[in-house]
Homo-oligomer: A and B are copies of this chain.
Amino acid sequence: MFVLDSQLKNDTIELGSLPLCELLLMNDSNYPWVILVPRREGLRELVELPAADQLQFTVESNAVAHLLQTQFSAEKLNIAALGNVVSQLHVHHIARFANDACWPKPVWGAAPSLPYTPPQLAEVIEKIHAGLSVDRALDISWAN
């Protein structure tokens, strides 16, 4: 049975479920930072996903990428499957800006995380809802 890794659970806000992936928001207001976690037990690498899941993952990753471009005006996307610390397969999608906390360095370990205030969080979640809801082909079950 798929269970979300406890560190991912601790570091993020669970936004909802896409057909394949759990949709998480990193609780770090330095950058709009979404994480996709395929609900497949025991996987560590993208290459381990069955072919049909890889196709679906591409659809969901593209939707998140579009969201970060349209709702957050990302200047650059950083998309990465690392997993050196948390081994459960998860893929970072981060909107980067030339004036963000650690540009042009990668974000991991670069700047102390800055948790969202409740109003900031509400605003970000509203943008994510708006950005993903335009994709009528994408069946989403929102957490709230």
Which residues of A pack against B, CB within 8 Å?
Answer: 44-47, 54-55, 58, 61-62, 65-66, 69, 76-85, 87, 96, 103-106, 108-109
Partner of A78, one of B66, B69, B78, B81: B81
Minimum CB distance partner of A87 in chain B? B76
Consensus secondary structure, chain A interface: mixed
Partner of A80, one of B76, B79, B85, B87: B79
Across the A-B interface, the 6 shortest Cβ-Cβ residue pairs: A80-B80, A84-B104, A47-B65, A79-B81, A78-B82, A47-B62
Q: Which residues of chain B are within 8 angstroms of A45 by Cβ–Cβ distance?
A: 65, 69, 76-77
Closest CB-CB distance, A75 to chain B, in whole Å?
Answer: 9
Minimum CB distance partner of A65 in chain B? B47
**Is A78 within 8 A of B76, CB to CB?**
no
With known contacts A47-B65, A77-B81, A106–B104 Cβ distance under 8 A: no
